[in-house]
Structure 1
Amino acid sequence: MTSLRPQVVAHRGASDREPEHTLAAYLQAIEAGADALECDIRLTADGHLVCVHDRTVNRTSNGTGIVSTLELAQLEGLDWGSWKKLSQEHGDYGTEVPDVVDTSDRSHLLTLRKLFSVVADLDRPVQIAVETKHPTRYGGLVERKLARLLQEFGWDRHTPEKPSPVRMMSFSALAVRRMHALAPTLPLVYLVERRMPVAMIDGQVPAGVAIAPDVEMLALNPRFGERIRARGRELHVWTVDTPEQIRVCLDAGASVLITNKPAETRKTLASMLVPA
């Protein structure tokens, strides 16, 4: 057993309780004591960074279409939350859409700028793990837009004296390298979903970049985390929702747990760890 608690990162907010990527989900995660918030970002047709996971809006809104072909005003006109209530009450409702549009924070589209503003105004430190989604028609423009927004908030430089609350993540090694060039001191994370030699990973991303495997992959290959840490890299793990998965991560020496259930994960960690 260990006394070191991994950082608890709310995956798309407290997405087990609230519609993913909505302000309500992130406020719930903050209230639950999450150390950090994870978000996926995509670029709209008119150049805005929005918090949406899928390439299309079909699954998480009452609309249809590809995010990158729609303008911000079009996306803001959609209901991003009522699907969650229907899913919780009736299970998967397939192609059905809600009859009544929810106008609360559970249904508004969230821009990355708004999420940054919310975190900047908090009375306690909360970090943000920003995942840039690829492939995309806009290529490197996503990272360039992110770098500009970080500059606006003064979060593009990371030093021990003034750490940035933001880290960038991606399944694209090219995107990680691109972000390293744009903001050389910003913390970075390379997401991996299949087993690959650690030496191959070293060749794809710069030194110091954290590595984040899927928890199921880590469970099947427990020494993978040991090899990652032996290279001087932090081990982040996604998506960790059960006590069994949390134990796998603790045994592997993970620094970060990305979870849909931040409140439950914090409680489970507290019960598993020896007080410092």
Structure 2
Amino acid sequence: MTQARQHHIQVVAHRGASEDAPEHTLAAYMRAIEDGADALECDVRLTSDGHLVCVHDRRVNRTSNGRGAVSALELADLATLDFGTWKGREDATEVPDRTDPALTAVLTLERLLELVADSGRRIELAIETKHPTRWAGRVEERLVALLDRFGLAAPSSAGESTVRIMSFSARSLHRIAAAAPTVPTVYLMQFASPWLRDGRLPAGARIAGPGIRLVRNQPGLVDRLHRAGHQVHVWTVNEPEDVELCARLGVDAIITNRPRQVLSQLGRG
């Protein structure tokens, strides 16, 4: 793929290597690191007792053997649940090792940050805040505090940040930009708003995050965003033809459930 080799495209593991292991589990993120992903993507929600956990849905019903809204449960409640068995019931290529319950237990953002810190190589994090939520404002407050504790709320000595915050909510990104102005922010989008015609993003957003369907339908959007000075990170890119399209358009990051396959297609496997 000659086009792909003309520029570096960051490969971001969506909810970890979530095609091969249950999403948002330690197993999925360990697999993504082994596969060579440049960055890890996760969603965060706030428990009723104030812990940030990596769970996509508002409720735990789909991805665990429990029921209920994350915001109404304490971390101790979530810790009793299995977040991995469901994957074996579907089309998983691998079923996680059940001998280590920690691999498929609820994953806190704090534990994921520890995993990245202990990885021995540079791995970036793309953290998505989920909305709407009953904890509006508190999610961003707790998130910035946790990043600050890990030394990630400010750029490194080289002036580069290894973490970025993503959201479909412009208000959430505005809160992040106000609390941690050096942390890059990604505005996620499914549809083309009128102001996108000239590549503008909402105040507080520094990177564009269009979905692959939007990129397919409006490939010229990538160039408009680049001309406006924005990086373009596309989600969720799993099919080879979509990887090829993103490479041809010169996107800056591909967010995928299949980091190993995408890296291979880009000539980095």
Is this a same-fold pair by TM over 0.5? yes
Matches within 5 A, 1:209-248: 209-248=206-245
Q: Deviations over 1:240-267 (max 9, x none)?
A: 1111001111122200000000000000
* 1:4-43 matches, cutoff 5 A: 4-43=7-46
Work out whether residues 5 and 269 of structure 1, in 8 Å CA contact, stay in contact via their aligned partners in 2.
no
Query: How far does residue 134 in structure 1 lie from its aligned partner after superposition?
Result: 0.5
Report Cα offsets for 1:49-79 as digits up to 9, x if no partner: 0000000000000000000000000001001
Quick check: 2:209–2:233 contact (8 Å CA) kept in 1? yes
1:58 to 2:61 alignment: yes
Where in structure 2 are the equivalents of 1:125-136 lying within 5 Å?
A: 125-136=122-133
Distance 1:190 1:196 in 2: 12
Distance 1:142 1:12 in 2: 19
- TM-score normalised by structure 1 residue count: 0.90
Residue 263 of structure 1 corresponds to: 260
Q: 1:165 to 1:259 in 2, by over 3 A?
A: same
Q: How does 1:53-202 map to 2 (within 5 A)?
A: 53-88=56-91, 103-158=100-155, 161-197=158-194, 198=196, 202=200
Task: Give how far 1:184 is off.
Answer: 0.3
Report the AA paired with residue 82 of structure 1. T
Residue 115 of structure 1 aligns to a residue whose secondary structure is: helix
Q: Indicate the SS of the match to 1:45.
A: coil
Shift, 1:162, TM fit: 4.4
Query: How far, CA to CA, are the matches of 2:171 and 2:99 in structure 1?
Result: 39
DSSP-derived class of the 1:235 partner: strand
State the one-letter code of the partner of 1:204. P
Counterpart of 1:206 in structure 2 is: 204
Query: Is the CA contact (8 Å cut-off) linking 2:7 and 2:250 kept in structure 1?
Result: no
String of CA shifts for 1:62-119, please: whole Å, max 9, x gaps.
Answer: 0000000000000010010000011137xxxxxxxxxxx8753442110000000111
**Aligned-CA RMSD value:** 2.0
- Give distance in 1, aligned partners of 2:112 and 2:179: 21
Mapped partners of 2:132, 2:112: distance in 1:
23
The farther-off stretch of 189-198 and 77-86 is 189-198
Percent same amino acid at aligned positions? 47
Deviates more, 1:218-227 or 1:157-166: 157-166
1:46 to 24, 45, 49: 49
Tell me the alpha carbon deviations over residues 145-195 of structure 1, each in whole angstroms, 9 at most, x when there is no partner.
000001101110125624331110000011011100010011110000111
Range moving further from structure 2, 42-51 or 263-272: 263-272
What residue ranges of structure 1 are gaps of 5+ in the alignment?
90-100
Check the 8 A contact 1:79/1:102 in 2, yes or no. no
Q: Aligned residues, how many? A: 261
Partner of 2:95: none
